[in-house]
Amino acid sequence: MRRLWLIGLIVLTASLPVRAQERLNVGGDRVNVTTLVGPDGDAHVYAPTPADARKIADAKLVIVNGFGLEGWLPRLVQSAGGKASIVTATAGIAPLTLGSDADPHAWQSVANAKTYVGNIRDALVAADPFSAQAFRANAEAYLAKLDTLDGEVRAAVVQIPQTRRKVISTHRAFGYFAAAYGVEFVAPIGVSTESEASARDIAGIITQVRAAKIPAVFLENVSDPRLIRRISAETGARVGGTLYSDSLTAEKGDAPTYIDMVRHNIKALTSALVN
């Protein structure tokens, strides 16, 4: 059997170590995947290591999210000198923008995740045409699961009263979720965790939470929890738990796969916002 080496940086290919069958939704057992940014890692500010350059040099395909998420990647690829094809999983998706920055968190809409799957399938087929049939069948099965998941998100949001469909998260990671499913997200930090919230940003959020009676604030697995705890303490908005925005967890965590992540997030949102 031919095996491809693949480097994945994105939530859909998940973080090692996780259950192989669940992780390789499209590649199945025909692909070896190595992930550079591990469980609970922050791809915005990741600092690549020399070992990462060696992994890139060995890879046949490098799958990236795109939209500026992995700003450190071009230099890493250059220093690796590898011949791997770079595949952008968000190709074909119209980006949301915040000022001049593209919002990279496109996977937070399940419809966009389906585009990622199509791009990954096509890249794998091009890299290993002998396995095309398996890749296409795997992708089709996974796309059907994503359709079911999209329906679950819509059914969950319907349970939340319209006036309570607004929350605070730490950084602007849920713009695509908001646009797709109609829940408003407000965040003190922008589309990258590289920046920090200023005192003025935080004061603005506190005013907004009070004025709009935003019922809940959420922690993120990739962000410092202190900011959200302070906003909660000053406004009385309850901390609704953790949302998984950018990164999956290790196998025993709440969100070891993409589907687990979306399910966890809708459960956290409905628990905090319904009634």
Residue numbers at the binding site for Zn ion (CB under 5 A): 173, 246
**DSSP per-residue string spanning the chain:** ---EEEEE-SGGG--SSS-HHHH-TTTGGGEEEEESS-TT--TTS----HHHHHHHHH-SEEEE--TTTTTTHHHHHHHHT--PEEEETTTTPPPPEETTEEP--GGGSHHHHHHHHHHHHHHHHHH-GGGHHHHHHHHHHHHHHHHHHHHHHHHHHHTS-GGG-EEE-SBS--HHHHHHH--EEE-SB-SSTTS---HHHHHHHHHHHHHTT--EEEEETTS-THHHHHHHHHH--EEEEEE--S-PPPTTSS-SSHHHHHHHHHHHHHHHH--
Cβ atoms within 10 Å of 194's Cβ, excluding its own: 12
Using the minimum distance from each CB to Zn ion, give the nearer residue, 70 or 246: 246
Q: Can you read off the two tokens belonging to residue 46? A: 């990741």
Which CB atom, from 103 or from 128, has the smaller least distance to Zn ion?
103
Q: How far is the CB of 105 from Zn ion (least distance, A)?
A: 6
CB 218 within 8 A of CB 241: yes
Q: Which is nearer to Zn ion, 173 or 209 (CB)?
A: 173
Shortest Å distance, C-beta 148 to Zn ion? 26
